[in-house]
Amino acid sequence: METKDESQQPVEQLIANRRAKLDALREMGQDPYPRRFRVERSVSEARSLYEGLSAEELEKDPPVVRLGGRLRAVRGHGKVSFADLSDGLGQIQLYVKKNDLDESAWLVFKQLDLGDFLGVEGPVFRTRAGELSVAVKELTVLSKALRPLPEKYHGLADREARARQRYLDLLSNPESREVFEIRSKAISSIRRRLEAAGFIEVETPMMQPIPGGATARPFVTHHNTLDLDLYLRIAPELFLKRLIVGGFERVFELNRNFRNEGISTRHNPEFTMLEFYWAYADYELLMDFTEELISGVVEEVTGGLEVEWGGHTIDFSRPWRRLKMRDAILEYSDLTPDDLVGRERMEKAARDLDVQRIDERSDGNLLAELYEMTAEPLMINPTFIMDFPRQISPFAKSCPDDPETVERFELFIGGMELANAFTELNDPDEQRRRLEFQAAEQGGMVDEDFVLAMEHGLPPTGGEGIGIDRLIMLLTNQSSIRDAILFPQLRPRE
RNA sequence: GGGCCGUUAGCUCAAUUGGCAGAGCAAGUGACUCUUAAUCACUAGGUUGGAGGUUCGAUUCCUCCACGGCUCACCA
In this predicted structure, what is the pLDDT of residue A4?
35
Dist. CA A404–CA A396, nearest whole Å: 11
In this predicted structure, what is the pLDDT of residue A1?
29
A488 CA from B64 C1′ (Å): 29
The answer to whether the pTM exceeds 0.90 is yes
A80 CA from B34 C1′ (Å): 9
A175 CA from B76 C1′ (Å): 30
When computed from its CA atoms, the radius of gyration of chain A, rounded to whole angstroms, is 29
Nucleotide nearest to A371 (CA to C1'): B76
Dist. CA A10–CA A151, nearest whole Å: 16
Asked whether A368 and A396 are in contact (CB, 8 A), the reply is: no
Kindly list the distances between the CA atom of residue A460 and the CA atoms of A95, A207, A280, A408, A455, in Å, as whole numbers in the listed order: 67, 28, 5, 14, 13
In this predicted structure, what is the pLDDT of residue A2?
32
C-alpha A25: how far from chain center: 41
- The residues with which A73 forms a beta bridge, in sequence order, are A84
Asked whether A286 and A384 are in contact (CB, 8 A), the reply is: no
Q: State the DSSP code for A380.
A: -
**A83 three-state secondary structure:** strand
Residues sharing a CB contact under 8 Å with residue A119, sequence separation 6 or more, in sequence order: A37, A39, A66, A67, A68, A139, A140, A142
Nucleotide nearest to A130 (CA to C1'): B34
C-alpha A2: how far from chain center: 45
Dist. CA A142–CA A30, nearest whole Å: 10
Dist. CA A15–CA A67, nearest whole Å: 27
**A402 three-state secondary structure:** strand
Nucleotides of B under 7 A from a protein CB: 1, 6, 9-13, 24-28, 31-39, 44-47, 66-76
Nucleotide nearest to A128 (CA to C1'): B34
Query: Residues of A annotated in the binding site for Mg(2+), as ranges?
Result: 410, 417
Q: What value of ipTM does the predicted structure carry?
A: 0.91
In this predicted structure, what is the pLDDT of residue A494?
62
Q: Could you tell me which of A256, A306, A294 has the C-alpha nearest to residue A485?
A: A256
Query: Residues of A annotated in the binding site, as ranges?
Result: 410, 417
Length of chain A: 494
Dist. CA A277–CA A236, nearest whole Å: 11
A409 CA from B52 C1′ (Å): 56
Nucleotide nearest to A259 (CA to C1'): B75
In this predicted structure, what is the pLDDT of residue A90?
94
C-alpha A476: how far from chain center: 10
pLDDT one-digit tens code per residue, A14-32: 999 999 999 999 999 999 9
Q: Which residues of chain A register pLDDT less than 50?
A: 1-7
In this predicted structure, what is the pLDDT of residue A8?
58
Dump the DSSP string for A408-470: EEEEEETTEEEEEEEEBP--HHHHHHHHHHHHHHH-----HHHHHHHHT---SEEEEEEEHHH
Nucleotide nearest to A355 (CA to C1'): B73
A151 CA from B49 C1′ (Å): 21
Query: Which phi and psi angles does A189 have, rounded to 5°?
Result: -65, -40
Give the closest residue to B7 (Cα–C1′): A158
Query: Percentage of chain A with pLDDT > 70?
Result: 98
Dist. CA A55–CA A59, nearest whole Å: 6
A180 CA from B36 C1′ (Å): 28
Q: Supply angle C-alpha A323, A329, A333, rounded to 5.
A: 130
Q: State the DSSP code for A128.
A: T
Asked whether A375 and A381 are in contact (CB, 8 A), the reply is: no
